[in-house]
Structure 1
């Protein structure tokens, strides 16, 4: 993981510690996957950006964004479901990652080519 519960709270996070731990692990997996492992070996100058990105991902995951099946919200009583198209969900994830992981080192690209 790239953040701590204390840093998450400093960034405005409101989840309980238990919920944070579950979503932080998922967010770290997303960061590792989307950077093709470069986030694990990132230079020290990217530590704050990785922490901030993970905190933003945690809140987005808690809000139901980037879900694998595209379901953003679901209500059982009276059945209601809101789905996000996969392309829209992917674009939102790319936008969030680009906001944090491209300066001063681009963790999303190799040799100037971004994989987002």
Structure 2
């Protein structure tokens, strides 16, 4: 074979090997990019799922907070009513106490009257006067 032809054959073979290598590398790089894309997609889907769960929990928490706010409003109204009732009870207690104080005074007066009547009868008997 001629040297020139041999060099051309080697160049042709080198080009062929180079083209095949490039094709292999492109295929390998393409596969790796596909794997990376799949892994990335899987990661994003997992994060998306977690975010959806968290969103659901937050919605539930919002509902609970709304319920608590409503309950707090009812509690405030209940506390106002309780405060009013306590004031009425205190007023009534003071009134009862005042009446009892007056009643005790009347009982003391009645007791004094009864004692006075007994003493008077005893004196009338000693003196010999007819009781009135």
TM-score, normalized by length of structure 2? 0.21
Between 1 and 2, higher relative CO (CA 8 Å, sep ≥ 6) is seen in: 1
Which structure's residues are more often strand, by fraction? 1
Q: Based on CA coordinates, which of the two structures has the bigger radius of gyration?
A: 2
Query: Which of the pair is proportionally richer in helix?
Result: 2
